[in-house]
A and B are shown apart, each in its own frame.
Chain A
């Protein structure tokens, strides 16, 4: 990362638009942080400062918001961020096994990035897909459900070859016996 980060004219106009949607500018911190993360790839302290200054909000507040959500990256991350859920439901269904498998496979620990900058792993809290536990989310986007070691192997290969995981229809028990 080089140089100081700034928002250009277009960014400022966009942020202005986002902020206007809410009665109070504090409420716009989330969308503006998303915007900043899209632009810079992360919201490290310098971006947090930039956001706080642009929105004229206390830096501490922005910092608090960023640290609350694992979805905001406090430092530069790999190209693909694998958020493995280790919250209750996933945990009892083997979330930690999946995490450990992934850690061994990529040779990094949760919270780290592979030296080639391809992958980062995070251990995160419930992503609201407990029914499909254990699961993970790829770079704040696609969910990969009912994880097995084989699925992980495939996911990594796919991502390496530039293929994003596709939609997967998951049958719930009630679908199976036709009593929806």
Chain B
């Protein structure tokens, strides 16, 4: 097998590749800025320089030439090489800053150059705390600068597009952002203008950087030159908790990081997932974080005698629901599941009403034709359409819904987290004769039309799985506390600095940010005290139960989903699907 010697240590490699990537894959460190594993390699920052050479080959003898000590004679490249663009070669010898003074000096000098005109903005720079320039300067840079002259100033706070703001002074001209629009999103909206110490990225003269993926440039920008118009100045990186999640604003289900502070979601960024979204995610998914904070249903709401909705207690909600159930036959109950709710919620929802004798279960797909693209946006706007379908709910078109309601004349309607009034021909007048119970996360037209509203947890408040448009099941982790969860007790939840060192009485702790809601399954458990069938303690347990019943979900566990960033399901395989 071909071998390479890095800092006197021998490594074997199978695939052709570049030295920098090989080093990163093998846990070695090397500073770099412009290289990005998913983009082309321009080698323009010069930060990843190493000393490299090849053994001298004796063609006549067919062996490597050796010196007196019996060691291979190495012929070094005349200058230091950029590891990001250097191909792995059999026998290659590489020295990094760990073993070579020249490399160490060169890395520090390069940083000194990059920093010559760099503003000292860190205290007010959004990137601070997650800034490669900061980190690498700290680790590899010079202690100070010898540059004593006036720095070159460039424009600051330029609104490149609706979502991205440029600070040209901070830019190190790595061209990552330009390459992103050229190679990934293919809108070609950015370019580097001018040259020398005057250059920075820009859009063409009168164009707006409105790329639907524009915020990815903010992530990959190795400095604070590109910042998110939305997140700018909202929170310091070290104040937030970072929890893995998935994007539920779209059928693709990109892997995400959910950043919270004081139990508010501050931003959403992509999490690397080779099988789904690589390093990217659409802007719309990131901006959907608001739905987790705003307009939330907290505490049950009840509409006594068709008057205004008022807040009520959980006990009262439970009692009212029981009373209403006692009044009707199972045939008078209409149950509508949701492609927006998780597998676990839909499963328990259905199981509960099955136990009451209900046989028909519907869901309304949420597809916007033409909304998708070839990258990471799908026409399907819901995160779990395949999941709700796999659980045996029947799809019903928005224009057919009124007919079902008028012909079945249900007395009790249950709707799981989905604004169906907004997407179908159904109006609140169709529901006038029925008692409607909405189990939802946010207030909307449907929740307002309901007689009873049960607040349930969102994807950032519970652990639950969702099946994306490609049949991949992925799960979420609670990131935001509800009134009933506690990150100190739930080991799955992340603890940030403020959680570790703060107390409940600190002035940055806002109790109102914790929503009074519970997972849908938990409410079902509450409705059936003492029952073995509904005695779930966690969504993990529910998934195991589903796995025991439905082939599709057989063997699917949270552990495996965590390890492999989701599991590809074989949705065709199962003929039992509709017989839960």
* Residues in A lying within 8 Å of B, measured CB to CB: 45, 48-49, 52, 58-64, 67-68, 125
Main secondary structure of the interface of A (DSSP, over half): helix
A59 adjacent to B193 (CB under 8 Å)? no
The answer to whether B205 has its CB under 8 Å from any CB of chain A is yes
* CA A64 to CA B189, docked complex, whole Å: 11
* CA A125 to CA B196, docked complex, whole Å: 9
* Residues in B lying within 8 Å of A, measured CB to CB: 181-182, 188-196, 202-207
* CA A61 to CA B196, docked complex, whole Å: 17
B205 adjacent to A63 (CB under 8 Å)? yes
B204 adjacent to A59 (CB under 8 Å)? yes
A48 adjacent to B204 (CB under 8 Å)? yes
18 contacts between A and B (CB under 8 A): A45-B204, A45-B206, A58-B188, A59-B204, A59-B207, A60-B181, A60-B188, A60-B190, A60-B191, A60-B202, A61-B188, A61-B191, A62-B204, A63-B193, A67-B194, A68-B194, A68-B195, A125-B195
Residues of the A chain whose Cβ atoms lie less than 8 Å from the Cβ of B207: 59-60
* CA A125 to CA B197, docked complex, whole Å: 12
Residues of the A chain whose Cβ atoms lie less than 8 Å from the Cβ of B204: 45, 48-49, 52, 58-60, 62-63
With beta carbons under 8 angstroms apart, the residue of A52, A58, A62, A64 that contacts B192 is A64
B87 to chain A, nearest CB (A): 23
Residues of the A chain whose Cβ atoms lie less than 8 Å from the Cβ of B188: 58, 60-61
| In the A-B complex, the 4 residue pairs with the closest CB atoms | A64-B191, A58-B188, A59-B204, A45-B205
* CA A52 to CA B193, docked complex, whole Å: 16
Residues of the B chain whose Cβ atoms lie less than 8 Å from the Cβ of A49: 204-205
Residues of the A chain whose Cβ atoms lie less than 8 Å from the Cβ of B190: 60
Residues of the B chain whose Cβ atoms lie less than 8 Å from the Cβ of A125: 195-196
Residues of the B chain whose Cβ atoms lie less than 8 Å from the Cβ of A58: 182, 188-189, 191, 204
A69 to chain B, nearest CB (A): 8
B575 to chain A, nearest CB (A): 51
* CA A52 to CA B188, docked complex, whole Å: 12
Residues of the A chain whose Cβ atoms lie less than 8 Å from the Cβ of B193: 63-64, 67-68
Chain A residue with Cβ nearest B203: A60
Chain A residue with Cβ nearest B186: A58
Chain A residue with Cβ nearest B192: A64
Q: What would 12 more interface pairs be, CB under 8 Å, given A60-B188, A60-B190, A60-B207?
A: A48-B204, A48-B205, A49-B204, A49-B205, A58-B182, A60-B202, A60-B203, A61-B191, A63-B191, A63-B204, A67-B195, A125-B195
Chain A residue with Cβ nearest B193: A67
* CA A61 to CA B195, docked complex, whole Å: 14
Chain B residue with Cβ nearest A45: B205
Residues of the B chain whose Cβ atoms lie less than 8 Å from the Cβ of A45: 204-206
Residue with the greatest number of chain A CB neighbours at <10 A, chosen from B181, B182, B193: B193
Residue with the greatest number of chain B CB neighbours at <10 A, chosen from A45, A49, A67: A67
* CA A63 to CA B192, docked complex, whole Å: 9
Chain A residue with Cβ nearest B187: A58
* CA A59 to CA B182, docked complex, whole Å: 12
Residues of the B chain whose Cβ atoms lie less than 8 Å from the Cβ of A64: 191-193, 202
Residues of the B chain whose Cβ atoms lie less than 8 Å from the Cβ of A59: 204-205, 207
* CA A125 to CA B190, docked complex, whole Å: 25
A7 to chain B, nearest CB (A): 19
Residues of the A chain whose Cβ atoms lie less than 8 Å from the Cβ of B191: 58, 60-61, 63-64
* CA A58 to CA B179, docked complex, whole Å: 13
B290 to chain A, nearest CB (A): 31
* CA A153 to CA B182, docked complex, whole Å: 49
* CA A62 to CA B196, docked complex, whole Å: 18
Chain B residue with Cβ nearest A87: B196
B174 to chain A, nearest CB (A): 15
Residues of the A chain whose Cβ atoms lie less than 8 Å from the Cβ of B206: 45
Chain B residue with Cβ nearest A58: B188
* CA A101 to CA B99, docked complex, whole Å: 54
* CA A63 to CA B206, docked complex, whole Å: 11
Residues of the B chain whose Cβ atoms lie less than 8 Å from the Cβ of A48: 204-205
B189 adjacent to A60 (CB under 8 Å)? yes
A43 to chain B, nearest CB (A): 11
B77 to chain A, nearest CB (A): 28
* CA A48 to CA B192, docked complex, whole Å: 15
Chain A residue with Cβ nearest B209: A60
Residues of the B chain whose Cβ atoms lie less than 8 Å from the Cβ of A61: 188, 191
Residues of the A chain whose Cβ atoms lie less than 8 Å from the Cβ of B196: 125
A63 adjacent to B195 (CB under 8 Å)? no
Residues of the B chain whose Cβ atoms lie less than 8 Å from the Cβ of A68: 193-195
* CA A128 to CA B207, docked complex, whole Å: 35
* CA A61 to CA B190, docked complex, whole Å: 8
B110 to chain A, nearest CB (A): 21
* CA A127 to CA B195, docked complex, whole Å: 14
* CA A64 to CA B200, docked complex, whole Å: 10
B150 to chain A, nearest CB (A): 16
B429 to chain A, nearest CB (A): 52
A14 to chain B, nearest CB (A): 24
A123 to chain B, nearest CB (A): 12
Chain A residue with Cβ nearest B198: A67
A27 to chain B, nearest CB (A): 16
